[in-house]
Amino acid sequence: MRLIINKTVLILSTLAAVLGIVFLFWILLTLTIKGISAINLHIFTADLVDNGLRNLIVGQFTLALIAVVIGVPIGMVAGIYLQEYSFGNKYAEFIRNLSDVMMSAPSIVIGTFVYAIIVNPVGHVNGWAGAIALAIMMIPIVVRTTDDMLGLVPTELREAGVAIGAPKYKVIFNIIIKAAKVGIMTGILLAFARIVGETAPLLFTSGNSEYFTMDLNSEFPSLTVAIYNLATMPDEKLVNLAWAGAFLLTLFVLIINLIGRFVTKEKKR
């Protein structure tokens, strides 16, 4: 009897695993088939107004890069505080937990928040609002990575730095950050991959634009928002365009994740 139960459970959980994997590969398969059949040179050279994706791809990257420029310094310095300056006090522990909670906060709520503080006073959607919403999403991820990676740096390195008379910030920047460089860079890369696929915080902050623009004060083209709008259109051609965008986005996110995984593995060796 015990053996039968054992067999049943093992078979069931293997089946669950197979089922899960089948579903997940089904998604990737349909995405790849639909995406590749819709991709051609035209979508990289034309803007949305001419049934292309150029302005959207550029726009999405611009927003995410600005978010990196805003979010990474704040996140990194906060992470440095948690690991190097707090000496494990209650406040740091509180901030650490809070940052973890913020990491899982619903992204749409962050969108409404940015709408309230930026879009509403300004009066129209604009690129800055989108970038700031993404930056808010990014900060806790960077905090976590920096915190974790600095924690891996051996204390002896810090002591050696302090022993030769260097001030603490120099020790941090010249020794500790250098030692944890690969890990932090990987973390930032993964954070970038995560925010570049975000839609909900952009819906009513940066909106979407059909034209190529670099003006962050006006509505800004975004690939994910465009996918959402295009996929619900009745026109088959536009839906295919959405599939092409979805495929490119997924491909990019997966490649970055693979690179990040590869780099961390190399380092561990």
Partner 1 sequence: MESLFKKISSLSATTILLILTSIFVVLFIYAKPAMAEYGIKFLTDPRWGVEVKVDSVNTQNNQNQTPVVTETVNDNDNIAVDDEDVAVDDENDFGDENDFGDDDDEIVVSDEGNIDENSNVKTIYGGLVPIVGTILSTIIAMFFAVPIAMGIAIFLSEIAPEFIAKPVGIAIELLAAIPSIIYGMWGLFYFGPIVSKVFGGGSVSLLVAGLVLAIMIVPFMASLTRDSMNTTPAVLKESAYAMGATKFEVIKDVVFPYAKKGIIGSMILALGRALGETMAVAFVIGGVFTFPEKITDPTVSIPVVLANSFAESQGLSLSALFYLALILFVISFFVISFAKFYFLRDKK
Give the footprint of partner 1 on residues 177-216 (CB under 8 A).
190, 193-194, 197-200, 203-204, 207
Q: Are 212 and 55 in contact (CB under 8 A)?
A: yes
**Interaction between residue 63 and partner 1 (CB under 8 A):** no
Report the C-alpha gap between 248 and 196 in whole angstroms: 12
Kindly tell me which of 181 and 261 has the beta carbon lying closer to partner 1.
261
**Interaction between residue 49 and partner 1 (CB under 8 A):** no
> Which range of residues in 40-48, 135-143, 153-161, 174-182 is near partner 1 by CB under 8 A?
135-143
Contacting partner 1 within 138-177 (CB under 8 A): 139-140, 143, 167-169, 172
- Which of 17, 69, 152, 214 binds partner 1 (CB under 8 A)? It is 17
Side-chain-side CA neighbours of 268 within 13 Å: the count stands at 7
**Interaction between residue 14 and partner 1 (CB under 8 A):** yes
Kindly tell me which of 107 and 213 has the beta carbon lying closer to partner 1.
107
**Interaction between residue 48 and partner 1 (CB under 8 A):** no
- Distances in Å between the Cα of 87 and the Cα atoms of 81, 156, 165 are 9, 16, 20
**Interaction between residue 85 and partner 1 (CB under 8 A):** yes
User: Which DSSP string do the residues of 46-75 spell out, in sequence order?
Assistant: S-GGGT--HHHHHHHHHHHHHHHHHHHHHH
> Residue 125 Cβ, how far from partner 1 at the closest point, in Å?
8
Report the C-alpha gap between 251 and 262 in whole angstroms: 16
> Which range of residues in 49-57, 89-97, 157-165, 181-189 is near partner 1 by CB under 8 A?
89-97
**Interaction between residue 137 and partner 1 (CB under 8 A):** no
* Contact string 222-241 vs partner 1 (x = CB under 8 A): --x--xx--xxxx----x--
**DSSP code at position 199:** -
> Which range of residues in 41-49, 51-59, 175-183, 251-259 is near partner 1 by CB under 8 A?
251-259
User: Which DSSP string do the residues of 100-112 spell out, in sequence order?
Assistant: HHHHTS-HHHHHH
Backbone angles phi, psi at 58, to 5 degrees: -60, -45
- Which of 31, 58, 65, 177 binds partner 1 (CB under 8 A)? It is 31
- Which of 3, 90, 155, 156 binds partner 1 (CB under 8 A)? It is 3
**DSSP code at position 88:** T
Angle at 7 between CA 6 and CA 11, to 5 degrees: 120
> Residue 178 Cβ, how far from partner 1 at the closest point, in Å?
17
- Distances in Å between the Cα of 221 and the Cα atoms of 18, 90, 112, 179, 188 are 39, 43, 19, 38, 23
Closest CA relative to residue 141, chosen from 200, 205, 189, 106: 189
**Interaction between residue 244 and partner 1 (CB under 8 A):** no
- Which of 53, 64, 246, 248 binds partner 1 (CB under 8 A)? It is 246
**Interaction between residue 128 and partner 1 (CB under 8 A):** no
